[in-house]
Structure 1
Amino acid sequence: MSIPIGILDQSPRFAGETAEDAFRHTIELAQIAEELGYQRFWVSEHHDSANVSGSSPEVLISYLLAKTKKITIGSGGVMLQHYSPYKVAENFNVLSTLAPGRVELGIGRAPGGLPRSTRALQGENGSSTLSLTDKITETRNYIYNRIADDHALAGIQVSPNPAQPADLFVLGASTNSAEVAAKLGLPYVFSQFINGDEEVALTAVKAYREQFVPSIEYPKPHVILALSVIVAETEEEASQLAGENLSVKIHLESGKVLTVGTVEQAEEFGRQSAEKYRIEVKEAKVVKGSPTSVYQQLATIRHQYGIQELVVHTVIQNFNKRVRSFELLQQAFVHAEVEASLEV
């Protein structure tokens, strides 16, 4: 593929399906993605959800690595606010030792669940006093064994110490997350499938590039756009399939805005937060159409944002049609490459 493309799968559980069905589909999809030549396959982290089964990405990653041969497997992402950077580094160093060069650690800043699951994850003492930026820095320093001499835990190492540590990415859907990635000199993944506001996306990407501080691993900014994509044989079928996708946001009185899966989840989040809230429901922003149409749309988006890579998230209840969407997307890019080579 001329544009490196990855897949984000959330192990969705649709009506009539079990968690076993959801994971079986994720495993099969990772294997298909590898056969089709996709760049990477990421899995997500969600808690206390009846609609999404993937609550432990590092565990699922280990299984997917064992069930595939060469595709890169990663998290999209680990919700680091809940966890010890040291333990996250240990988990991903184990994975990187088992599958050298095939592991990626995407770090998210959303809670990944309802307020009660956040309380359950963080315990009675609540979240760490460290900011997310500090936690990412700690995680990176542990992974690369760069603990400073004046650090409170100077001399500590993460075991094992892989020859090829996991690559780190910062995931987000706001300018704040873009600024965190820029400050740390890490690749930035803007989740447009969560925040479909084009102006926010463009502003975030611009801020990331302007504020980027070069790092050892990344001397230049590196932007990936994660977006919803649905490809079908015809425009009409793609539109019909995309009709299943809604964007549901909850606006809390404190100013926080979160994207959730359903209106019911938004209502439950509001109840558990003990804050006044309002719910916003609208049609999700989805790149949809025939293979040729989607390729043209993605080429325009790539030029508009100046991005290096894409990650696609496809929500279609019928698993076979979801697989077909990924097949058609890959075929569209291969066809475009062949045509381009003939014109040279």
Structure 2
Amino acid sequence: MTMPVGILDQTPIYEGETAEQSFARTIELAQLAERLGYRRFWVSEHHDSASVSGSSPEVLISYLLACTNHILLGSGGVMLQHYSPYKVAENFNVLAALAPGRVELGIGRAPGGLPRSTRALQGEHGDPRSLTDKLLETRNYLHNRIADDHALAGIHVSPQSAHPASIFLLGASRDSAELAARQGLPYVFSLFINGDEEVALEAVQAYRASFVPSAELAEPHVILALSIIVADSDQEADELAGENLSVKIHLESGRVLTVGTVAQAEEFGRQSNETFRIEVKEAKVVKGSPNHVYEQLSHIRERFGIQEIITHTVIRDFDKKVRSFELLQQVFVQHGEENGITNSTAELDTSTAAR
């Protein structure tokens, strides 16, 4: 079984650097991913952060499309709770018309920032519609399927692309898995956010058990997003992985969110006006020499029965980050799985004729 591999880049900005430098790295990584034959390259959405530059994935995707030729480019993901489904559909229809067949719309459920950025994006009262309703509406706009009894019946989403962006739902819980299943969408479980493999396995099983075929997808399709660090030796990989921590904030209301640093967690708690506690532990990372990583990935895909993975690789030393992506590609080729990591394979078929 082959397994296409993608890259998720969050455009980190390190102390003493400029936003221009962080975006230059993302552009270079997208071009590297294409040269190495990775299937897709996604960028993220974060707000009110001094450590991440990527606040507008649709704008960044547009630039990356112009800097590459064939790799799939998408969002990992757009935080739909903040936005008008109509405007999200317009943005991604423009992208899909500019680069037919290359654009993917990953939709996230987290706020992507602090409470004050949520207020800044949504206003004081926010949008009363649920994410479920907004997700369905976005899909209908993308595919020009506005019902006759809709409040905006007859509306035209400009432009209409012959190849609308493929939608993926991102999450790290059973709730998100069941939402993706009900909507008949591909599901991406973010194991690099929720490092509990038992929770991940339960979510994937729930997704498959309750999947409802849709116009876009006939059968369940699961992608696992993992932190992966490949180095020339296990010792070097361990040293590089020392940079990776999992920081969660547990709010009195019951919400649990993963943030980048302890400082961000403390600030989130202050802005939420809720009692909170912070949990810090070593992040879940697949790490080691090329063959050691390959063994771990083989076990993971067998356990989860997954079709694809996306790697989120947190290494501050850019040359070593590039090396990690190179070694990961090489080990797939060495094990006869080059067709699983090359973009020349058949794209994910999200039509009703799929698989």
- When normalised by structure 1's length, the TM-score is 0.97
In structure 2, runs of 5+ residues without a counterpart are 340-355
Amino acid corresponding to residue 78 of structure 2 in structure 1: V
CA contact (8 A) 2:2 2:337 kept: no
Partner residue in 1 for 2:112 = 112
| Sequence identity (%) | 75
Amino acid corresponding to residue 8 of structure 2 in structure 1: L
**What is the CA–CA distance in structure 1 between the aligned matches of 2:292 and 2:15, rounded to whole Å?**
30
Partner residue in 2 for 1:8 = 8
Question: Compared with structure 1, are the counterparts of its residues 78 and 339 closer, same or farther at alpha carbon in structure 2 (3 Å cutoff)?
Answer: closer
- What RMSD over aligned residues (CA atoms) do the two structures have, in Å? 1.2
Amino acid corresponding to residue 267 of structure 2 in structure 1: E
**What is the CA–CA distance in structure 2 between the aligned matches of 1:117 and 1:244, rounded to whole Å?**
27
Partner residue in 2 for 1:232 = 231
Secondary structure of the corresponding residue to residue 93 of structure 1: helix
- When normalised by structure 2's length, the TM-score is 0.94
Secondary structure of the corresponding residue to residue 218 of structure 1: coil
Secondary structure of the corresponding residue to residue 337 of structure 1: coil
Secondary structure of the corresponding residue to residue 78 of structure 2: strand
Q: Shift of residue 2 of structure 1?
A: 2.9
**What is the CA–CA distance in structure 1 between the aligned matches of 2:192 and 2:156, rounded to whole Å?**
37
**What is the CA–CA distance in structure 2 between the aligned matches of 1:124 and 1:251, rounded to whole Å?**
23
- Greater relative CO (CA pairs within 8 A, separation 6+): 2
**What is the CA–CA distance in structure 2 between the aligned matches of 1:27 and 1:335, rounded to whole Å?**
27
Q: Shift of residue 101 of structure 1?
A: 0.3
Range moving further from structure 2, 26-35 or 330-339: 330-339
Partner residue in 1 for 2:319 = 320
Secondary structure of the corresponding residue to residue 157 of structure 2: coil
**What is the CA–CA distance in structure 2 between the aligned matches of 1:56 and 1:27, rounded to whole Å?**
15
Question: Compared with structure 1, are the counterparts of its residues 339 and 4 closer, same or farther at alpha carbon in structure 2 (3 Å cutoff)?
Answer: closer
Pairing of 1:118-157 with structure 2 (within 5 A): 118-126=118-126, 128-157=127-156
CA contact (8 A) 1:46 1:53 kept: yes
Secondary structure of the corresponding residue to residue 275 of structure 1: coil
Pairing of 1:1-344 with structure 2 (within 5 A): 2-126=2-126, 128-337=127-336
Aligned residues: 339
CA contact (8 A) 1:65 1:99 kept: yes
CA contact (8 A) 2:74 2:103 kept: yes
In structure 1, runs of 5+ residues without a counterpart are none
Secondary structure of the corresponding residue to residue 73 of structure 2: strand
CA contact (8 A) 1:2 1:333 kept: no
Range moving further from structure 2, 154-163 or 106-115: 154-163
**What is the CA–CA distance in structure 1 between the aligned matches of 2:338 and 2:41, rounded to whole Å?**
27
**What is the CA–CA distance in structure 2 between the aligned matches of 1:213 and 1:3, rounded to whole Å?**
24
